[in-house]
Amino acid sequence: MKKRILISDIAKALGISVTTVSFILNDKAKEKRISEALTKRVLDYVKKVGYKPNELAKSLRTGKTKILGLIIEDISNPFFGNIARLIESKVYEQGYRIIYCSTNNDVEKAKELIQMFYDRQVDGFIITPSDGLEDTVKQLQQSNIPVVLFDRYFPGLETDYVGADNFQGAFDATSHLCQQAYKRIGFVSLYSDQTQMKERSEGYLKAMDNNKQQSFIQKVQMDASDDEAMESLKDFICENRLDAVLFSTNYLAISGLKASKKYNFVMPAMIAFDDHTVFKLLEPSITVVSQPIKEIAENLINILLLRLQGKIKATRKMVLPCELKIRESTKAKVTL
């Protein structure tokens, strides 16, 4: 266990000052008019001894950590998991690192996590905000630390934001069900004020209105257990004799599928919001509204990096189109 080598060791070994070494290592050799000969000598030596600066000391001095905080709803949901992975590899190329945490939609936990990231002086945030997090986000903004929201936002707060066109996604999905001649189309959502949920509701309702159909809406408690969700979904689908259902999230759809298995009823035509491995494999495979995960991740990073570099002033809101992936679960209804 050998001792870490310091910048002062380099300076001493080469008989020059620490400052000079620091300038050279931070690509300020030209700017500070340090001779090429010396620059090369330092660089060679540094490489030879494998010197790596102490990132902590660096951060302490500069106030920059090159770490970004990613606060997401649930890392085990593949939608978020995939976004996290894409973000991770994107920022990696730019020399940034990610610390992530899942909130599981718990406001208090989210607040704590944000506080902790703030204490660790992350350079910026990407957040899927839970209900009730508006003030915290506002505080971050006031502290002048870049924040980009995704998946949902706060209507009353000017923030950078990247998300999918939830209205259009739900509208297209519902319209598709109408076209396929379904007559009793239900919508499953959550008790939540989050914008993405509201937009999906509105998309559903608008399409139903356009087609002059009666709407059926069931909301599930956000903290409901799997069993509770399954039971209420069974009741919703069976008692209303629905012939089609649009689920506003992939896990609600999965709860629905589990319910149909557990309570042994036939799942009607269905569409889920957000794709999932399950949906491609099932018999019949499930039609989904798929969010442009890659584009979302790319835009999140781009906006955050621009902000970190101070290159943008006005807030940016990006709304990206969803794609309806039509599979077997929404074949045209056979009228008896």
Q: Which two tokens stand for residue 37?
A: 């000969």
- What is the DSSP-derived secondary structure letter of residue 30? T
Rg (CA), the chain: 26
Residue 262: other Cβ atoms inside 10 A: 12
Instruction: For DNA, give the closer residue by CB, 97 or 219.
Output: 97
> Which C-beta is closer to a copy of itself: that of 92 or that of 191?
92
Residue 84 touches which member of a copy of itself, DNA, none, C-beta under 5-8 Å by kind: a copy of itself
Q: 62-91 mask for DNA (x: CB under 7 A)?
A: x-----------------------------
Determine, following the binding rule CB under 8 A, whether residue 333 of this chain makes contact with a copy of itself: no
Shortest gap between Cβ of 141 and a copy of itself (angstroms)?
Answer: 10
Q: Give yes or no for a contact between 256 and 270, defined as CB atoms under 8 angstroms apart.
A: yes
Residue 179 CA to residue 211 CA, distance in Å, equals 9
In the bound state with DNA, the residue whose beta carbon lies nearer, of 33 and 47, is 33
35, 264, 277, 335: which one binds a copy of itself (CB under 8 A): 277
CB under 5 to 8 A by kind: which of a copy of itself, DNA, none does 99 bind? a copy of itself
Contact 183, 152 (CB under 8 A): no
The enclosing H or E element of 234 equals helix 226-239
257 binds, among DNA, a copy of itself, none (CB under 5 to 8 A by kind): a copy of itself
Could you write out the DSSP letters of every residue in 263-285?
Answer: TT----EEEEES--HHHHHSSSP
Residue type, position 163, single letter: G
- Tokens matching residue 119: 């204490």
Using the rule CB under 8 A, which residue among 36, 93, 119, 239 binds a copy of itself?
119
Cα–Cα distance for residue pair 316/159, rounded to 1 Å:
7
308 part of the interface to DNA, by CB under 7 A: no
**Backbone torsions φ then ψ of 55, nearest 5 degrees:** -65, -30
> Of 26-34, 48-56, 166-174, 201-209, which part binds a copy of itself (CB under 8 A)?
48-56
Please select the residue that binds a copy of itself; options are 21, 34, 84, 126, rule is CB under 8 A: 84
Under rule CB under 8 A, residue 54 binds a copy of itself: yes
Return the SS3 of 289: strand
- Please provide the DSSP assignment of 97-130 as one string: EEEEEE-TT-HHHHHHHHHHHHHTT-SEEEE-PP
Which residues would be at the binding site for a copy of itself (CB under 8 A)? 1, 52, 54-57, 59-60, 65, 75-76, 78, 81-82, 84-85, 88, 97-102, 116, 119-121, 142-144, 254, 257-258, 261, 276-278, 280-283, 285
Which residues would be at the binding site for DNA (CB under 7 A)? 4, 6-8, 15-20, 22-23, 25-26, 32-35, 38, 53-54, 57-58, 60-62
